[in-house]
Structure 1
Amino acid sequence: MPFSLTYGVEAVIPAKVKLCSARVTGFDSDENEELMARELNLLEEHRGMATIRLAEYQQKLAQRYNRAVKRREFAMGDMVLRKVVGNTQDMSAGKLAPTWEGPYHVTAIAGAGAYYLEDLEEKPLPRPWNVRNLKNFYQ
């Protein structure tokens, strides 16, 4: 439990103390100190197991997410369309404005899924574009 992982003991709520439950009437302070010392020795082990479970959960979650991801890679010379971002979109067209513009040629690979582009008149775009904002022209 999170409380026992943080503080090393389980909590007793005040209502149980006032009602004289079996847990409160059977309380022995010497035995409690001995049990607390034993639990303190196991605390790091409990925290380690919780960390391992968390890492396993995160790995499984990443595998599940990455199963649906489709990798896209482009080579130099490929023709691609570029997604229209908010500041370059024509506001006068309203919701019927195109979402893709182009075509563009891939001129160089900037690395990590980013590409340098140029238009059909061989005028380069000012910055590299991420693969999420590109798609094949021939799809």
Structure 2
Amino acid sequence: MEKAGGQWADELPNVLWAYRTTARTPTGETPYNLCFGTEAVIPVDIGVPSHRVQTFDSNANDEKLRHNLDLLPEVRDGTILKVAAYHQRVARHYNRRMKPRHISVGDFFLRSIEAADKGPQRNKLSPLWEGPYLVAASVKPVTFKLKDAEGKMLPLTWNIENLRKYYQ
């Protein structure tokens, strides 16, 4: 597209065709195949003599296309299983690097100033964390209510990503 410059609109159909006829990692199928039930013959294959082009029979082709359309729901079901397996692999890869953090009520934490929206007066030498705050309650496994040093509850809940353990 960059080489086309101002003529990108003329190149767009070729780019979209390439996108639709390239197999995706999660599904193992092309979007064209999942939509129409058959693999596309790219324009280059038509001009180059290949077994697929030379043995083309119009009557048999219509029958095979109908057969492929009948099998399309089964292909899509198989694709759903492949996508689920792909999601599990991605989650496993992500979770491999995660370090579990355990927070209990009564622990002291610092909270991120950026998450607290204390922005305009900050400069590059301003602190990134403020506190300490006491964990007053656990709303969800990774969301907490905090109390300040005076015992006053903070109005918002805080995600574990915006908290850092405070060591006294």
**Shared fold (TM-score, shorter chain, > 0.5):** yes
Shift of 1:77: 1.5
Q: Give the structure 2 partner of residue 56 of structure 1.
A: 85
Matched residue, 2:76: 47
TM-score normalised by structure 2 residue count: 0.68
Aligned to 1:82: 111
Q: How does 1:50-129 map to 2 (within 5 A)?
A: 50-85=79-114, 87-89=117-119, 91=121, 94-129=123-158
Bigger helix share: 1
Matched, 1:29 2:52: no
Percent identity of the aligned residues?
40
Deviations 1:11-37 (A, max 9, x none): 234565567766455433322222223
- Residues 51 and 116 of structure 1, relative CA distance in 2, 3 Å threshold: same
In 1: Cα distance, 2:68 partner to 2:119 partner: 62
2:154 is paired with a residue whose SS is coil
Write the deviation string for residues 6-63 of structure 1: whole angstroms up to 9, x where unpaired. Answer: 1122323456556776645543332222222322232222222222111111111011
Contact kept in structure 1, 2:143 and 2:159, CA below 8 Å: yes
Give 5+ residue unaligned stretches, structure 1.
none
Using the size of structure 1 for normalisation, the TM-score is 0.80
Distance 2:143 2:45 in 1: 62
Distance 1:100 1:28, change over 3 A: same
Larger radius of gyration: 1
Deviating more after overlay: 13-22 vs 109-118: 13-22
Provide the alpha-carbon RMSD of the alignment.
2.5
Unpaired runs of 5+ residues, structure 2, are 1-28
3-state SS of paired residue (1:128): strand
Question: In the alignment, is residue 10 of structure 1 matched against residue 39 of structure 2?
Answer: yes
Alpha-carbon distance between aligned partners in 1 of 2:50 and 2:136, rounded to the nearest angstrom: 77
Higher relative contact order (CA 8 A, sep 6+): 1
Question: How many residues align structurally?
Answer: 138
| Change over 3 Å in CA distance of 1:96–1:42 after alignment to 2 | same
SS at match of 2:155: coil
